[in-house]
Structure 1
Amino acid sequence: MAQPTLTAYCASKFGVRGFTEALRTEVLAARHPVKVTTVHPGGVKTGIASGNLADASARGVDLTASQRKRVDFYNQRLLRMQPSDAANIILDGVAAGSPRIRVGRDAKVLDYAVRRFPELYPRVVAGLDRRVFGA
Protein backbone atom coordinates (compact mmCIF):
# COMPACT_ATOMS: atom_id res chain seq x y z
CA MET A 1 0.00 0.00 0.00
CA ALA A 2 1.32 3.41 -0.94
CA GLN A 3 1.65 5.82 1.96
CA PRO A 4 2.15 9.58 2.07
CA THR A 5 5.69 10.78 2.87
CA LEU A 6 7.15 7.35 2.07
CA THR A 7 7.54 7.69 -1.68
CA ALA A 8 11.07 6.30 -2.00
CA TYR A 9 10.36 3.50 0.49
CA CYS A 10 7.21 2.49 -1.40
CA ALA A 11 9.05 2.57 -4.74
CA SER A 12 11.67 0.16 -3.41
CA LYS A 13 9.04 -2.14 -1.87
CA PHE A 14 6.97 -2.18 -5.05
CA GLY A 15 10.16 -2.83 -7.05
CA VAL A 16 10.99 -5.85 -4.91
CA ARG A 17 7.45 -7.14 -5.35
CA GLY A 18 7.61 -6.77 -9.14
CA PHE A 19 11.06 -8.36 -9.27
CA THR A 20 9.94 -11.30 -7.15
CA GLU A 21 6.74 -11.89 -9.11
CA ALA A 22 8.66 -11.75 -12.42
CA LEU A 23 11.28 -14.13 -11.02
CA ARG A 24 8.52 -16.52 -9.90
CA THR A 25 7.11 -16.49 -13.44
CA GLU A 26 10.54 -17.15 -14.97
CA VAL A 27 11.21 -20.04 -12.58
CA LEU A 28 7.82 -21.58 -13.38
CA ALA A 29 8.32 -21.14 -17.14
CA ALA A 30 11.74 -22.79 -16.97
CA ARG A 31 10.36 -25.55 -14.71
CA HIS A 32 13.13 -25.07 -12.18
CA PRO A 33 12.62 -27.02 -8.95
CA VAL A 34 12.64 -23.79 -6.94
CA LYS A 35 9.82 -21.82 -5.36
CA VAL A 36 9.79 -18.04 -5.11
CA THR A 37 7.88 -16.34 -2.32
CA THR A 38 6.90 -12.70 -1.89
CA VAL A 39 6.53 -11.55 1.71
CA HIS A 40 4.06 -8.75 2.51
CA PRO A 41 4.69 -7.80 6.12
CA GLY A 42 2.31 -5.82 8.24
CA GLY A 43 3.47 -3.80 11.22
CA VAL A 44 6.46 -5.60 12.70
CA LYS A 45 8.45 -4.13 15.62
CA THR A 46 11.79 -4.00 13.83
CA GLY A 47 12.75 -0.48 14.84
CA ILE A 48 12.65 0.65 11.20
CA ALA A 49 10.82 3.91 11.92
CA SER A 50 13.02 4.90 14.87
CA GLY A 51 16.14 3.81 13.00
CA ASN A 52 15.28 6.00 10.03
CA LEU A 53 14.62 8.94 12.34
CA ALA A 54 17.92 8.44 14.17
CA ASP A 55 19.79 8.09 10.87
CA ALA A 56 18.29 11.28 9.49
CA SER A 57 19.09 13.12 12.71
CA ALA A 58 22.69 11.84 12.67
CA ARG A 59 23.07 13.13 9.10
CA GLY A 60 21.97 16.57 10.27
CA VAL A 61 18.50 16.49 8.74
CA ASP A 62 16.22 19.00 10.44
CA LEU A 63 13.27 16.83 11.47
CA THR A 64 9.83 18.34 11.79
CA ALA A 65 7.41 17.80 14.65
CA SER A 66 5.12 16.05 12.14
CA GLN A 67 7.87 13.58 11.21
CA ARG A 68 8.54 12.81 14.87
CA LYS A 69 4.81 12.43 15.51
CA ARG A 70 4.55 10.01 12.58
CA VAL A 71 7.35 7.82 13.97
CA ASP A 72 5.76 7.81 17.43
CA PHE A 73 2.39 6.87 15.91
CA TYR A 74 3.93 4.04 13.88
CA ASN A 75 5.79 2.69 16.91
CA GLN A 76 2.80 2.88 19.23
CA ARG A 77 -0.08 1.96 16.92
CA LEU A 78 1.13 0.19 13.77
CA LEU A 79 4.38 -1.68 14.40
CA ARG A 80 3.06 -4.21 16.88
CA MET A 81 4.02 -7.75 15.86
CA GLN A 82 7.13 -9.25 17.42
CA PRO A 83 9.86 -10.05 14.86
CA SER A 84 10.02 -13.66 16.06
CA ASP A 85 6.29 -14.08 15.34
CA ALA A 86 6.75 -12.58 11.88
CA ALA A 87 9.70 -14.89 11.23
CA ASN A 88 7.63 -17.94 12.19
CA ILE A 89 4.82 -16.92 9.83
CA ILE A 90 7.32 -16.43 7.02
CA LEU A 91 9.12 -19.72 7.65
CA ASP A 92 5.81 -21.61 7.80
CA GLY A 93 4.71 -20.00 4.54
CA VAL A 94 7.97 -20.83 2.78
CA ALA A 95 7.80 -24.42 4.06
CA ALA A 96 4.25 -24.66 2.66
CA GLY A 97 5.43 -23.31 -0.71
CA SER A 98 3.19 -20.25 -0.56
CA PRO A 99 3.81 -17.79 -3.40
CA ARG A 100 2.62 -14.86 -1.26
CA ILE A 101 2.87 -14.55 2.49
CA ARG A 102 0.95 -11.79 4.23
CA VAL A 103 2.40 -11.34 7.70
CA GLY A 104 -0.23 -10.31 10.21
CA ARG A 105 -3.90 -9.48 10.11
CA ASP A 106 -3.13 -5.88 9.15
CA ALA A 107 -1.22 -7.05 6.06
CA LYS A 108 -4.16 -9.24 5.04
CA VAL A 109 -6.70 -6.43 5.49
CA LEU A 110 -4.56 -3.90 3.62
CA ASP A 111 -3.83 -6.33 0.80
CA TYR A 112 -7.54 -7.01 0.40
CA ALA A 113 -8.43 -3.31 0.46
CA VAL A 114 -5.76 -2.34 -2.06
CA ARG A 115 -6.73 -5.11 -4.47
CA ARG A 116 -10.49 -4.73 -4.04
CA PHE A 117 -10.64 -0.92 -3.98
CA PRO A 118 -7.63 0.37 -5.96
CA GLU A 119 -9.25 3.74 -6.71
CA LEU A 120 -10.72 4.29 -3.26
CA TYR A 121 -7.91 3.33 -0.90
CA PRO A 122 -5.59 6.27 -1.75
CA ARG A 123 -8.35 8.74 -0.84
CA VAL A 124 -9.03 6.90 2.41
CA VAL A 125 -5.32 6.79 3.28
CA ALA A 126 -4.88 10.49 2.43
CA GLY A 127 -7.87 11.40 4.61
CA LEU A 128 -6.60 9.33 7.53
CA ASP A 129 -3.15 10.82 7.12
CA ARG A 130 -4.56 14.37 7.28
CA ARG A 131 -6.69 13.49 10.29
CA VAL A 132 -3.86 11.86 12.25
CA PHE A 133 -0.89 14.01 11.22
CA GLY A 134 -2.42 17.26 9.96
CA ALA A 135 -1.88 19.01 6.65
Structure 2
Amino acid sequence: MKDFSGKIAVVTGGGSGIGRELTRQLAEAGCSIAICDVSEEDMAETVEIAMTGAPQGVKVTAFKADVSNEDQVNAFRDHVRDAHDIDHIHLLFNNAGIGGGSSFVTTPRDSWERTFNVCWFGVYNNARAFMPLLIAADEGHIVNVSSVNGFWASLGSDTAHTAYSAAKFAVKGFTEALVNDLRLNAPHVKASVVMPGHIGTNIARSTFREFSDAEEALSEEEAKAVNDHFRTSATTTAAQAATVILDGVKAETWRILIGPDAVALDKAVRATPEAAYDGDFGMEIFANLRSATDNA
Protein backbone atom coordinates (compact mmCIF):
# COMPACT_ATOMS: atom_id res chain seq x y z
CA MET A 1 0.00 0.00 0.00
CA LYS A 2 2.14 2.84 -1.32
CA ASP A 3 -0.54 5.53 -1.28
CA PHE A 4 -3.22 6.30 1.33
CA SER A 5 -5.25 8.60 -0.89
CA GLY A 6 -8.83 7.38 -1.27
CA LYS A 7 -8.39 4.70 1.38
CA ILE A 8 -10.53 4.10 4.48
CA ALA A 9 -8.81 3.70 7.87
CA VAL A 10 -9.98 2.85 11.37
CA VAL A 11 -7.97 4.16 14.34
CA THR A 12 -8.71 3.20 17.94
CA GLY A 13 -7.56 5.53 20.68
CA GLY A 14 -7.80 8.35 18.18
CA GLY A 15 -8.40 11.06 20.77
CA SER A 16 -4.76 11.80 21.51
CA GLY A 17 -1.14 10.74 21.13
CA ILE A 18 -0.16 8.38 18.34
CA GLY A 19 -3.82 7.83 17.41
CA ARG A 20 -4.35 11.54 16.86
CA GLU A 21 -1.16 11.83 14.80
CA LEU A 22 -2.05 8.81 12.68
CA THR A 23 -5.43 10.43 11.99
CA ARG A 24 -3.87 13.78 11.11
CA GLN A 25 -1.22 12.36 8.80
CA LEU A 26 -3.60 9.96 7.08
CA ALA A 27 -6.13 12.75 6.49
CA GLU A 28 -3.43 14.97 4.99
CA ALA A 29 -2.59 12.08 2.66
CA GLY A 30 -6.19 11.93 1.42
CA CYS A 31 -7.39 9.02 3.55
CA SER A 32 -10.80 9.01 5.26
CA ILE A 33 -10.72 7.85 8.87
CA ALA A 34 -13.08 6.60 11.56
CA ILE A 35 -11.75 6.99 15.09
CA CYS A 36 -12.98 5.76 18.43
CA ASP A 37 -12.04 6.72 21.97
CA VAL A 38 -13.69 7.05 25.38
CA SER A 39 -13.31 10.85 25.38
CA GLU A 40 -15.66 12.72 23.06
CA GLU A 41 -13.86 15.98 23.85
CA ASP A 42 -10.48 14.58 22.77
CA MET A 43 -11.97 13.08 19.62
CA ALA A 44 -13.59 16.38 18.63
CA GLU A 45 -10.19 18.05 18.87
CA THR A 46 -8.62 15.31 16.75
CA VAL A 47 -11.28 15.65 14.06
CA GLU A 48 -10.80 19.42 13.94
CA ILE A 49 -7.02 19.10 13.66
CA ALA A 50 -7.24 16.38 11.00
CA MET A 51 -9.75 18.19 8.84
CA THR A 52 -7.72 21.42 8.88
CA GLY A 53 -5.06 19.92 6.62
CA ALA A 54 -7.18 17.40 4.75
CA PRO A 55 -7.88 17.71 1.00
CA GLN A 56 -11.43 17.92 -0.29
CA GLY A 57 -13.36 14.67 -0.10
CA VAL A 58 -11.72 13.37 3.08
CA LYS A 59 -14.11 12.38 5.86
CA VAL A 60 -13.18 11.93 9.52
CA THR A 61 -15.76 10.55 11.94
CA ALA A 62 -15.69 9.88 15.68
CA PHE A 63 -17.50 7.31 17.81
CA LYS A 64 -17.36 6.87 21.57
CA ALA A 65 -16.46 3.28 22.40
CA ASP A 66 -14.63 1.33 25.08
CA VAL A 67 -12.48 -1.09 23.09
CA SER A 68 -12.58 -3.70 25.86
CA ASN A 69 -16.35 -4.00 25.36
CA GLU A 70 -17.20 -6.19 22.36
CA ASP A 71 -20.73 -4.81 21.98
CA GLN A 72 -19.40 -1.26 21.82
CA VAL A 73 -16.74 -2.28 19.31
CA ASN A 74 -19.37 -3.92 17.12
CA ALA A 75 -21.44 -0.74 17.33
CA PHE A 76 -18.35 1.19 16.24
CA ARG A 77 -17.96 -1.13 13.25
CA ASP A 78 -21.58 -0.52 12.29
CA HIS A 79 -21.00 3.22 12.60
CA VAL A 80 -18.02 2.97 10.24
CA ARG A 81 -20.06 1.14 7.62
CA ASP A 82 -22.98 3.55 7.86
CA ALA A 83 -21.13 6.86 8.30
CA HIS A 84 -18.70 6.16 5.47
CA ASP A 85 -21.18 4.17 3.37
CA ILE A 86 -18.71 1.34 2.75
CA ASP A 87 -18.50 -2.43 2.92
CA HIS A 88 -14.72 -2.54 3.38
CA ILE A 89 -11.79 -0.76 5.02
CA HIS A 90 -8.13 -0.71 4.01
CA LEU A 91 -6.40 0.02 7.31
CA LEU A 92 -7.01 -0.91 10.94
CA PHE A 93 -4.79 0.65 13.62
CA ASN A 94 -5.35 -0.99 17.01
CA ASN A 95 -3.74 1.75 19.04
CA ALA A 96 -5.88 2.27 22.17
CA GLY A 97 -4.24 1.52 25.49
CA ILE A 98 -3.83 2.46 29.15
CA GLY A 99 -1.27 1.72 31.84
CA GLY A 100 -1.93 0.57 35.38
CA GLY A 101 -2.64 -2.87 36.83
CA SER A 102 0.90 -3.07 38.08
CA SER A 103 1.06 -6.05 40.44
CA PHE A 104 -0.64 -9.41 39.97
CA VAL A 105 -0.03 -10.02 43.67
CA THR A 106 -1.19 -6.76 45.28
CA THR A 107 -3.25 -4.81 42.71
CA PRO A 108 -7.05 -5.31 42.98
CA ARG A 109 -8.22 -7.80 40.40
CA ASP A 110 -10.65 -5.41 38.71
CA SER A 111 -7.90 -2.81 38.17
CA TRP A 112 -5.48 -5.44 36.84
CA GLU A 113 -8.05 -6.85 34.46
CA ARG A 114 -9.15 -3.39 33.30
CA THR A 115 -5.65 -2.66 32.00
CA PHE A 116 -5.28 -6.12 30.48
CA ASN A 117 -8.70 -5.97 28.82
CA VAL A 118 -8.17 -2.57 27.21
CA CYS A 119 -4.66 -3.37 25.98
CA TRP A 120 -5.31 -6.94 24.81
CA PHE A 121 -9.03 -7.44 24.25
CA GLY A 122 -9.18 -4.01 22.63
CA VAL A 123 -6.96 -5.41 19.90
CA TYR A 124 -8.78 -8.73 19.75
CA ASN A 125 -12.30 -7.24 19.65
CA ASN A 126 -11.46 -4.82 16.87
CA ALA A 127 -9.57 -7.45 14.88
CA ARG A 128 -12.64 -9.70 15.09
CA ALA A 129 -15.04 -6.89 14.18
CA PHE A 130 -13.10 -5.41 11.28
CA MET A 131 -11.27 -8.38 9.73
CA PRO A 132 -14.16 -9.15 7.34
CA LEU A 133 -14.06 -5.53 6.15
CA LEU A 134 -10.30 -5.70 5.62
CA ILE A 135 -10.66 -8.93 3.66
CA ALA A 136 -13.40 -7.33 1.54
CA ALA A 137 -10.96 -4.64 0.33
CA ASP A 138 -8.60 -5.11 -2.60
CA GLU A 139 -5.70 -4.58 -0.19
CA GLY A 140 -5.61 -4.24 3.57
CA HIS A 141 -3.29 -3.83 6.55
CA ILE A 142 -3.85 -4.40 10.27
CA VAL A 143 -1.45 -2.62 12.61
CA ASN A 144 -1.40 -3.65 16.27
CA VAL A 145 0.43 -1.43 18.74
CA SER A 146 2.36 -3.44 21.32
CA SER A 147 5.30 -1.93 23.23
CA VAL A 148 8.87 -2.55 24.27
CA ASN A 149 7.04 -4.14 27.19
CA GLY A 150 5.87 -6.70 24.67
CA PHE A 151 9.39 -8.16 24.67
CA TRP A 152 10.75 -6.81 27.99
CA ALA A 153 8.20 -7.15 30.78
CA SER A 154 9.52 -4.53 33.16
CA LEU A 155 9.69 -0.90 34.21
CA GLY A 156 12.75 -1.57 36.33
CA SER A 157 13.48 -3.80 39.28
CA ASP A 158 11.59 -1.62 41.78
CA THR A 159 8.26 -1.56 39.89
CA ALA A 160 5.72 -4.32 39.22
CA HIS A 161 4.36 -4.15 35.65
CA THR A 162 2.40 -7.32 34.96
CA ALA A 163 -0.99 -6.41 33.42
CA TYR A 164 0.34 -4.04 30.76
CA SER A 165 3.29 -6.29 29.92
CA ALA A 166 1.17 -9.44 29.70
CA ALA A 167 -1.26 -7.67 27.37
CA LYS A 168 1.48 -6.28 25.16
CA PHE A 169 3.16 -9.70 24.91
CA ALA A 170 -0.24 -11.05 23.80
CA VAL A 171 -0.55 -8.34 21.15
CA LYS A 172 2.93 -9.09 19.82
CA GLY A 173 2.36 -12.86 19.70
CA PHE A 174 -1.06 -12.52 18.12
CA THR A 175 0.25 -10.24 15.39
CA GLU A 176 3.23 -12.45 14.61
CA ALA A 177 0.87 -15.41 14.27
CA LEU A 178 -1.40 -13.33 12.01
CA VAL A 179 1.46 -12.74 9.57
CA ASN A 180 1.42 -16.37 8.46
CA ASP A 181 -2.34 -16.82 8.98
CA LEU A 182 -3.05 -13.98 6.55
CA ARG A 183 -0.48 -15.24 4.03
CA LEU A 184 -2.36 -18.53 3.97
CA ASN A 185 -5.95 -17.30 4.10
CA ALA A 186 -6.04 -13.65 3.00
CA PRO A 187 -2.72 -12.82 1.29
CA HIS A 188 -3.87 -9.35 0.22
CA VAL A 189 -4.06 -8.33 3.89
CA LYS A 190 -0.83 -7.61 5.77
CA ALA A 191 -0.12 -7.39 9.50
CA SER A 192 2.37 -5.33 11.49
CA VAL A 193 3.22 -5.19 15.19
CA VAL A 194 4.45 -1.85 16.50
CA MET A 195 6.77 -1.72 19.51
CA PRO A 196 7.30 1.85 20.68
CA GLY A 197 9.75 2.91 23.34
CA HIS A 198 9.08 6.06 25.36
CA ILE A 199 6.81 8.17 23.16
CA GLY A 200 5.57 11.63 24.10
CA THR A 201 1.87 10.85 24.53
CA ASN A 202 -0.79 11.40 27.19
CA ILE A 203 -1.09 7.73 28.14
CA ALA A 204 -0.29 8.70 31.74
CA ARG A 205 -3.24 11.13 31.70
CA SER A 206 -5.53 8.44 30.25
CA THR A 207 -4.42 6.00 32.93
CA PHE A 208 -5.05 8.50 35.73
CA ARG A 209 -8.51 9.21 34.32
CA GLU A 210 -9.27 5.50 34.22
CA PHE A 211 -8.24 4.86 37.82
CA SER A 212 -9.18 8.20 39.37
CA ASP A 213 -11.43 6.50 41.92
CA ALA A 214 -8.72 4.20 43.23
CA GLU A 215 -7.49 4.80 46.76
CA GLU A 216 -3.93 5.39 45.56
CA ALA A 217 -4.99 7.85 42.85
CA LEU A 218 -3.01 11.09 42.60
CA SER A 219 -4.55 14.51 42.87
CA GLU A 220 -5.39 16.26 39.60
CA GLU A 221 -2.37 18.54 39.99
CA GLU A 222 -0.02 15.63 40.74
CA ALA A 223 -1.39 13.62 37.81
CA LYS A 224 -0.87 16.54 35.43
CA ALA A 225 2.72 16.96 36.59
CA VAL A 226 3.48 13.27 36.07
CA ASN A 227 1.82 13.24 32.65
CA ASP A 228 3.62 16.40 31.50
CA HIS A 229 6.97 14.98 32.59
CA PHE A 230 6.28 11.68 30.82
CA ARG A 231 5.35 13.47 27.60
CA THR A 232 8.16 16.02 27.53
CA SER A 233 10.95 13.65 28.59
CA ALA A 234 10.29 11.21 25.75
CA THR A 235 12.94 10.57 23.11
CA THR A 236 10.33 10.33 20.33
CA THR A 237 7.25 12.46 19.67
CA ALA A 238 3.84 11.07 18.79
CA ALA A 239 4.11 12.70 15.35
CA GLN A 240 7.44 10.98 14.70
CA ALA A 241 6.00 7.65 15.87
CA ALA A 242 3.02 7.95 13.53
CA THR A 243 5.32 8.69 10.59
CA VAL A 244 7.42 5.61 11.35
CA ILE A 245 4.27 3.47 11.50
CA LEU A 246 2.89 4.76 8.20
CA ASP A 247 6.27 4.33 6.51
CA GLY A 248 6.29 0.77 7.83
CA VAL A 249 2.88 0.11 6.31
CA LYS A 250 4.06 1.38 2.94
CA ALA A 251 7.14 -0.84 3.14
CA GLU A 252 5.07 -3.84 4.38
CA THR A 253 7.33 -4.13 7.42
CA TRP A 254 5.76 -6.58 9.85
CA ARG A 255 7.94 -5.60 12.84
CA ILE A 256 8.15 -1.88 13.59
CA LEU A 257 10.37 -0.62 16.40
CA ILE A 258 9.92 3.05 17.30
CA GLY A 259 12.60 5.14 18.95
CA PRO A 260 16.28 4.64 19.72
CA ASP A 261 15.35 3.25 23.13
CA ALA A 262 13.23 0.51 21.53
CA VAL A 263 16.05 -0.40 19.14
CA ALA A 264 18.66 -0.48 21.91
CA LEU A 265 16.49 -2.44 24.32
CA ASP A 266 15.51 -4.99 21.66
CA LYS A 267 19.18 -5.55 20.85
CA ALA A 268 20.13 -5.92 24.52
CA VAL A 269 17.34 -8.38 25.34
CA ARG A 270 18.22 -10.52 22.33
CA ALA A 271 21.91 -10.49 23.22
CA THR A 272 21.53 -11.41 26.91
CA PRO A 273 17.98 -12.63 27.59
CA GLU A 274 18.92 -14.27 30.91
CA ALA A 275 20.06 -10.90 32.26
CA ALA A 276 16.96 -9.00 31.14
CA TYR A 277 15.46 -8.83 34.64
CA ASP A 278 18.64 -8.34 36.63
CA GLY A 279 19.14 -5.03 38.39
CA ASP A 280 18.52 -1.94 36.27
CA PHE A 281 19.03 -3.73 32.93
CA GLY A 282 16.60 -1.78 30.77
CA MET A 283 16.40 1.38 32.82
CA GLU A 284 20.11 2.00 32.29
CA ILE A 285 19.49 1.95 28.55
CA PHE A 286 16.71 4.53 28.87
CA ALA A 287 18.83 6.69 31.18
CA ASN A 288 21.86 6.62 28.86
CA LEU A 289 19.75 7.63 25.87
CA ARG A 290 18.16 10.50 27.79
CA SER A 291 21.59 11.68 28.92
CA ALA A 292 22.92 11.53 25.38
CA THR A 293 19.89 13.50 24.15
CA ASP A 294 20.26 16.13 26.87
CA ASN A 295 23.95 16.58 26.06
CA ALA A 296 23.48 16.72 22.29
* Deviation for aligned residue 1:113: 1.2
Equivalent of 1:107, from 262, 287, 292? 262
TM-score by length of 2: 0.37
Q: 2:187 is matched by which residue type in structure 1?
A: H
| Aligned structure 1 segments of 4 or more residues deviating by more than 4 angstroms | 126-129
Q: Which protein, 1 or 2, shows the higher relative CO under an 8 Å CA cutoff with sep ≥ 6?
A: 1
Equivalent of 1:90, from 221, 245, 253? 245
Matches within 5 A, 1:51-70: 51-56=206-211, 58-63=212-217
* Deviation for aligned residue 1:78: 5.6
* Deviation for aligned residue 1:100: 0.4
TM-score by length of 1: 0.76
* Deviation for aligned residue 1:45: 1.2
For the pair shown, the structure with the greater C-alpha radius of gyration is 2
Rate the CA distance shift 1:128–1:40 in 2: closer, same or farther, 3 A: closer
* Deviation for aligned residue 1:50: 3.4
* Deviation for aligned residue 1:36: 0.9
Identity %: 36
Rate the CA distance shift 1:114–1:19 in 2: closer, same or farther, 3 A: same
The residue aligned with 1:28 is: 183
Judging by fraction of residues, say which structure has more helix.
Answer: 1
The residue aligned with 2:278 is: 123
The answer on 1:44 being equivalent to 2:199 is yes
**Structure 1 unaligned blocks of 5 or more:** none
| 8 A contact 2:200–2:230 mirrored in 1 | yes
**Structure 2 unaligned blocks of 5 or more:** 1-151, 288-296
User: 1: CA distance between counterparts of 2:230 and 2:170?
Assistant: 25
Equivalent of 1:2, from 128, 153, 157? 153
Q: How many pairs were matched up?
A: 124
